[in-house]
Structure 1
């Protein structure tokens, strides 16, 4: 039996990108991110400023693609991981969280749930996460039987490699989750590598340096089935201020993020504008990491363009992974990357 290839994308509620503008025909699954976890009650809820977007998310994206499946993602990079740790450490807390997440998904017509706990960091947190996933999976099975509807999907975001943070044993992950979304990016950024540029989402690298390949291999070696792995594609780049305008390749001296992009993050749509605004801006493809970079006289940006996106989707298929996801759809430029990835994943 052939497992359908997942072509997913995340919509971020903080992106100011309208849900109604998502070209959902390029995707099999869309994640609505992020729902919030209450620190006191452990109930899941929608963020107040974008509550209507969450409530109507499925209805809205299915206008262009009635077959697209939606998942509600909980947590995210700005959430407090200690709240997830506290919830997961208590049987009662886990039950409240699970029941409220299922109710919220069902009430608002989502087809699944996604956990973005970034990240469990101790052996106890790993064990509690395992308990949470098993109980969540069982509750989803019972829910489907009880109401006579298809089971909700259950997924989770994970670090690019299992060797950095604490995760449950592979059998728990494989049994409890439909798949895991591997965050295969931000290997190098101005926040973790302020003094040197780097390939923030290298497909390949030398030795054990961070890359898609080393991370995926590590997950497979840990025992997680390759058909449970979905590869993350960044629709954004990382920007550095060059220390020397004449030294501008990958691994060049840098001085942190440039003032024009203070977080160091720059969407693909902004990168296209950055390249177009100055005829002297150079665009290069780094064969060692199989990613793109561009630079002018002061800034260097590491990013993925169509060539590297195609290579990553081809890699996912060759490795017999479950598919790919994009972070996030609002960063795309005229759906260039979304369409390229979707064609490559046929």
Structure 2
């Protein structure tokens, strides 16, 4: 059961753009490291998938074991859903909500961050409780609830059509996730049961004003309504933070709830759905789509996440398009994939790239999509040859029949250097469960951004 954040791109070409280095003139983001240093740092945002605790058996505790938690500034929890009546909700509805994974499922001592088994009587268990324990162990680490994703953006457009509907929608999300008023499920949930888990909201509407998943509604007015939605979230989050300041000792607390968004690479989608200068005033940062430039459903093999690409989608093109539309460099966080896109039945010879293919490649969870940790095993086994385009910053595996385009530590180091050189906001990863058990990818990004 995989609900994808990975938005499909229209088949299009993009005009060559000015080098980002000429556009990014704002100072770098200044975020404190979560635990092992106080040096100003870049954001490191990793998506934790709700459903990864099942087949992949990727638990919150694995972020601690791998060393990822101490290298992250933010965890985006994927995903929260929007109901047909325009409200944030949870429950146990197959394909729509999974309260069991979120806050009901008990964890034993072996799989718990603090080494203590969940009891039958505690109000908060599951992933939410483990995230809270992870934050206690790594002060400064923030957790955001990501709303929508590829499959759960269905009702966004309906939810934000009027000022009244936007106000009600935002209020419901803050009530559920920020205030932590979770539905009662046996001993779990209740008023305030989830308080302190989430530090902000991440909007993953795919896509306002343009086509997304097959059942996702979109309208031309989504563009202005998205701006109004961002403003409403900022207003209500700030008001709630202000209301909490008098409740702490001496009344000195100054909590800031962060607000971010996942945004597309295609210029047509940017222009259809985003008033860039306006939304950037209220957003703390945006996570740029830095992957799925080409996908395994296409008939020809191609790169999915190149740093540079002439007359094609690329990281540099995406950054440049957002800068030119008025986004501050310090608020642009570059998305980096912890997975690959793959094709099989590749013909035409050579290194396999830009060649006809018969179908998406067989894979562990979904044809055409494979975690980095599995692709690393293919590379290490020697049956696939690693190819690199060093000039354009991407890599792929090819065995003569099957091709996988992916990012390995070498590619991610180059991208991290690009983030530094262009004084951008940091790096984002989809998704943390694709990394190796020892956090090979996140360690490479951490070093590239100036960590240890």
Q: Which residue of 1 aligns with 2:280?
A: 174
CA distance in 2, matches of 1:57, 1:183: 28
1:197 equivalenced with 2:316 (yes/no): no
Please say if residues 44 and 97 of structure 1, whose CA atoms lie closer than 8 Å, have aligned partners that are also in contact.
Answer: no
Instruction: Give the CA deviation at 1:63.
Output: 4.9
| Partner residue of 1:318 out of 383, 398, 421 | 421
TM-score, reference length from structure 1: 0.93
CA distance in 1, matches of 2:229, 2:263: 15
Please say if residues 242 and 252 of structure 1, whose CA atoms lie closer than 8 Å, have aligned partners that are also in contact.
Answer: no
Aligned length: 341
Q: Which residue of 1 aligns with 2:135?
A: 62
CA distance in 2, matches of 1:275, 1:245: 22
CA distance in 1, matches of 2:363, 2:48: 24
Please say if residues 32 and 54 of structure 1, whose CA atoms lie closer than 8 Å, have aligned partners that are also in contact.
Answer: no
Please say if residues 240 and 264 of structure 1, whose CA atoms lie closer than 8 Å, have aligned partners that are also in contact.
Answer: yes
Q: Which residue of 1 aligns with 2:24?
A: none
1:237 equivalenced with 2:288 (yes/no): no
Equivalence map 1:258-337=2 (5 Å):
258-260=361-363, 262-277=366-381, 279-333=382-436, 334-337=438-441
Q: Secondary structure at the match of 1:324?
A: strand
Q: Let me know the Cα RMSD of the aligned residues.
A: 1.9
Please say if residues 24 and 64 of structure 1, whose CA atoms lie closer than 8 Å, have aligned partners that are also in contact.
Answer: no
Q: Secondary structure at the match of 2:159?
A: helix
Q: Which residue of 2 aligns with 1:102?
A: 174
CA distance in 2, matches of 1:162, 1:56: 39
Instruction: Give the CA deviation at 1:167.
Output: 2.6
Instruction: Give the CA deviation at 1:29.
Output: 1.1
| Partner residue of 1:38 out of 62, 83, 88 | 83
Instruction: Give the CA deviation at 1:344.
Output: 1.3
Please say if residues 9 and 325 of structure 1, whose CA atoms lie closer than 8 Å, have aligned partners that are also in contact.
Answer: yes
Larger Rg: 2
Q: Which residue of 1 aligns with 2:202?
A: 114
Gaps of 5+ in 2: 1-26, 32-41, 91-96, 104-125, 181-193, 211-218, 246-253
Please say if residues 239 and 258 of structure 1, whose CA atoms lie closer than 8 Å, have aligned partners that are also in contact.
Answer: yes
* Change beyond 3 A, Cα 1:331–1:115: same
* Change beyond 3 A, Cα 1:95–1:317: same
Please say if residues 387 and 396 of structure 2, whose CA atoms lie closer than 8 Å, have aligned partners that are also in contact.
Answer: yes
Deviations 1:271-326 (A, max 9, x none): 0122234x332111122431111112321000001111011111111111111111
